[in-house]
Amino acid sequence: MVPKFKPSPLRIRSFCTKTVQQNPHHWPIKQITKTNFNESLSEIKNHISSSDFIAVSLQNTGSFSSPWHRVSTFDTPETAYLKAKFAAERFQILQFAICPFKLQASKVIAYPYNFHLFPRDELKMGMPSYSFTCQTSYLTAMAKEGFDFNTCIYDGISYLSEAQESTVKVRMGNPMAVDHATKSSSSPALSVADTVFIERVRSRVKHWKNACTDSDIKTEAALVTSLRKIVLGGEQFGSRPSMTIDVCSERQVQLVLKMLEDFSDVLVPLIIPAKGGGTQAVRAVLTSSDEDKDLLKRELQTFEFEQNKRVRGFREVIDLISASQKPLVAHNSLNDFTFIHSKFLAPLPPNMNEFICSLRLAFPQVIDVNYLLKDIGPVKKMTNISATIAYLKNRFFAPIEMEIPNQANENEGKIHGHNVVKICQLFGKLCSILKITPDAIESSDDFLASAINRYANIFYSLPGSSQEPTNEEIRGWTNDKRKVSCEDVVFLWGFRERISAGILKNMLQGSHEVFAEAFNVRMVDRSCAIVVFGKPGLSNTFKNVMNSKAVSGPLREMVSDGLKAAGYETYQRVCSSGLWESALADALDKTLASHNCLSEAAYETKQSEIYLSNELINLAEL
């Protein structure tokens, strides 16, 4: 028999007031699941409100499905956003670590929490998500770290985004108390049909009310009671008797509400919303007294409050973070915040600008440690936080003491979410090296704000962007750290598979005169390469040659073998049209095919600039 997961109701906690831990594996990170979520909320709230910053880090079920889906150095902010959006919409967050922290001199005081999430369709409405994609490599890697999938799936916290919550409210059909807005002030002119309708309902209500309040029939047999119920149309609302009045239009709702005012001493009208908007029925609830009436109203309020809380789930924490307006610190902010936006706020908007505007409403300041790193010097973009910390340790003397006063649940076997503490640590180091915060925090908030503002909300920046492009063109080729205009980039595909950039370059060199000037070739994936021309204008010449009948010589030979070329705007169209084929060549072909049928508005490519750097594409890595 397979051991099945059973959440232990007993959690032994060690209450230590002060823990200073330098060994990451002993960082006490509080693990939160459905079982201890509610009881932890108030504590988290306190830590958030007393913190200077909040670090966040996500563990997702995947990132990019094909080599070219990865955000790379040849991406403009726009295409990078589209790639991140594609990932955020498909994959799922399984762990969400947050860490409110304070910076004091060379000390970071952190309160890390790691939330286990799982989207549960509790309302049977296909929310928060109908389905999600998993990458086996991600799951395998998590398994290697000892991740407990049973805890996650059985006991993960569900959630709804803000947008989903508002649609749910409409569709749940909870009875709503009538507020004054729903009552129309002007009394409608009554037609004959209206009068008949009202009188019929009035007499039904009267009979029912009398039957309920009549004390003589309290003792009758169960059968008679149930028969009476059927005849009178009465039912129970909680412990109170109630009666449902069906309505066909909003006008009838108004009529019924108006009529019920005559019984307002004991009857409380509730509106039952129909699925998909509108009103399905009005329900009159019988109360015994004024106190009872107030009690009912309060009950309804708490019911709604509790239900909303249950529906929101983990988003409660997001709301707390958002309400605190504290600056957030992340390591891979574009990736993380596209996920956060799509899962907890609303579906992702179609472009980067709208995304940033929308995100800023919820989180005014987001700081990416990768961007801080750039100010330190020509550090290669590092994807691994631990490596970055090690690198800084070797270069700078900026010891950071980590203090984690959290109460960890000790008897839980595995502690996850170390990254979030590492981000705090790295951020602390960077701040101390860049002399941004430690003392400034106490002295003046303004200084901090301005210092932080310099770094906030840059979601996509490129390695080496603080460097000016050099004049040495040739050096630029070998070192590949220069700005390249999108205009000078051409995508090439249709060559034989498993060709190397070097061979392709050799083949191109003799094929046409445009390749007499300096140019560079990089592989994007196995099917496609980019060619970067050193001299402006050559890319257009090349594209024109490729499309004309005049193509001759070795190039003609290559074109006959299937070689194709397209400019950067085609690539942008691939990303925006969502043709995420697994090979870029197929996506480009499809885009060209659909574009030929329909000419669309031209894409602006002129201002956008991309960078090429050494790490651009390394086929061995892909």
Partner 1 sequence: MKKRWPITILYRAFSSSTTSTTASFPLKHVKKSNFDSALSSLRHHVQAADFVAIDLEMTGITSAPWRDSFEFDRFDVRYLKVKDSAEKFAVIQFGVSPFRWDPLKQSFITHPHNFFIFQRQELPLDGAAYEFLCQTTSMDFLAKYQFDFNACIHEGVSYLSREQEDKALKHVNSTYEDESLDSWHSLKEIRDTHLFNIPDILFAERMKDRLSEWLGGLLRNRDGGSEVQPSFNDSKQQFETIFFKMRPAISLNGFTSHQLLLIQLVVRKHFKDLAYLRVSGENSCSQNVIVYIESESDKKMLMKEVKDEQKIDAEMSIKASIGFRHVIDLLSSEKKLIVGHNCFLDIAHIYSKFFGPLPLTAEEFISSVNKYFPHIIDTKILLNSNSILQQRMKKSSTSLSKAFSVLCPQIALGSKSTHLALQPSVKVEVEVDDIRSSNWNSGVKHEAGYDAFMTGCVFAQACSHLGIDFKQQSSSENLAHNEKLREHVNLLYLSWTNGEIINLSTGNRTSESLASNKRKNHYPKILFECIVIVWGFPSHLKAWDIRECISKVYGPTSVISVYHVDETAVFVQFSRAEMVSKFLDLKGSLDRNNDPISVLHPLAKLLEGGNTCAASYETYKEICSSTVSKVLFADQAKAVGIKWKTKLVESSDKTKEHESLRKVKAVNSDPSCGERTKNKNFDDVSNDSSYSQLSSDEIIDSFYTREAKQI
Nearer to partner 1, 133 or 547 (CB): 133
Q: CA Rg, the chain, in Å?
A: 32
CA distances from 520 to 301, 502, 506 (A): 67, 10, 11
149 binds partner 1 (CB under 8 A): yes
Coil vs helix vs strand at 402: strand
Site string for partner 1, 4-23 (x = CB under 8 A): xx------------------
Give the distance, in angstroms, between the CA of residue 273 and the centroid of all CA atoms in the same chain: 30
| Footprint of partner 1 on 506-545 (CB under 8 A) | 526
CA distances from 507 to 555, 604, 607, 618 (A): 9, 32, 31, 20
Nearer to partner 1, 21 or 135 (CB): 135
139 binds partner 1 (CB under 8 A): yes
Identify the residue whose tokens are 């928060």. 128
Region from 126-134, 179-187, 208-216, 375-383 binding partner 1, contact rule CB under 8 A: 126-134
119 binds partner 1 (CB under 8 A): yes
Q: Where are the beta strands (DSSP E) in 568-613?
A: 609-612
438 binds partner 1 (CB under 8 A): no
Identify the residue whose tokens are 């706020």. 345
- Closest contact distance (angstroms) between CB of 497 and partner 1 is 9
| Footprint of partner 1 on 243-262 (CB under 8 A) | none
Cα separation, 163 vs 159, in Å, equals 12
347 in Cβ contact with 358 (< 8 Å): no
Nearer to partner 1, 132 or 371 (CB): 132
- Closest contact distance (angstroms) between CB of 498 and partner 1 is 7
Amino acid type, 479: N
Q: Label the pairing between strands 113-116 and 30-32.
A: parallel
Site for partner 1 (CB under 8 A): which residue of 18, 180, 498, 549? Answer: 498
- Closest contact distance (angstroms) between CB of 235 and partner 1 is 20
472 binds partner 1 (CB under 8 A): no
- Closest contact distance (angstroms) between CB of 147 and partner 1 is 8
123 in Cβ contact with 311 (< 8 Å): yes
Could you tell me the two tokens for 248?
């066909």
Site string for partner 1, 562-581 (x = CB under 8 A): ---------------xx---
Site for partner 1 (CB under 8 A): which residue of 21, 36, 66, 351? Answer: 66
458 in Cβ contact with 607 (< 8 Å): no
583 binds partner 1 (CB under 8 A): yes
Which DSSP state fits 159?
B
Find, among 575, 568, 576, 566, the residue nearest to 610 by Cα. 568
391 binds partner 1 (CB under 8 A): no
Q: At what angle do helices 290-312 and 162-172 cross, to 10 degrees?
A: 140
Region from 45-53, 114-122, 185-193, 442-450 binding partner 1, contact rule CB under 8 A: 114-122
Coil vs helix vs strand at 413: coil
- Closest contact distance (angstroms) between CB of 121 and partner 1 is 5
- Closest contact distance (angstroms) between CB of 267 and partner 1 is 30
Cα separation, 426 vs 53, in Å, equals 13
| Footprint of partner 1 on 150-179 (CB under 8 A) | 150, 152-154
- Closest contact distance (angstroms) between CB of 143 and partner 1 is 5
Cα separation, 296 vs 128, in Å, equals 31
Cα separation, 90 vs 81, in Å, equals 14
Residues binding partner 1: number (CB under 8 A): 52
64 binds partner 1 (CB under 8 A): yes
**431 phi, psi to nearest 5 deg:** -65, -40
Nearer to partner 1, 123 or 266 (CB): 123
Cα separation, 469 vs 483, in Å, equals 6
Identify the residue whose tokens are 């929490």. 113
Cα separation, 431 vs 589, in Å, equals 47
- Closest contact distance (angstroms) between CB of 129 and partner 1 is 6
| Footprint of partner 1 on 69-98 (CB under 8 A) | 92
- Closest contact distance (angstroms) between CB of 523 and partner 1 is 12
- Closest contact distance (angstroms) between CB of 138 and partner 1 is 9
- Closest contact distance (angstroms) between CB of 405 and partner 1 is 32
Nearer to partner 1, 138 or 263 (CB): 138
Binding footprint of partner 1 on the chain (CB under 8 A): 1-5, 62, 64-67, 92, 118-121, 124, 126, 128-137, 139-140, 142-143, 148-150, 152-154, 276-277, 478, 498, 500, 502-503, 526, 577-578, 582-583, 594, 598, 622
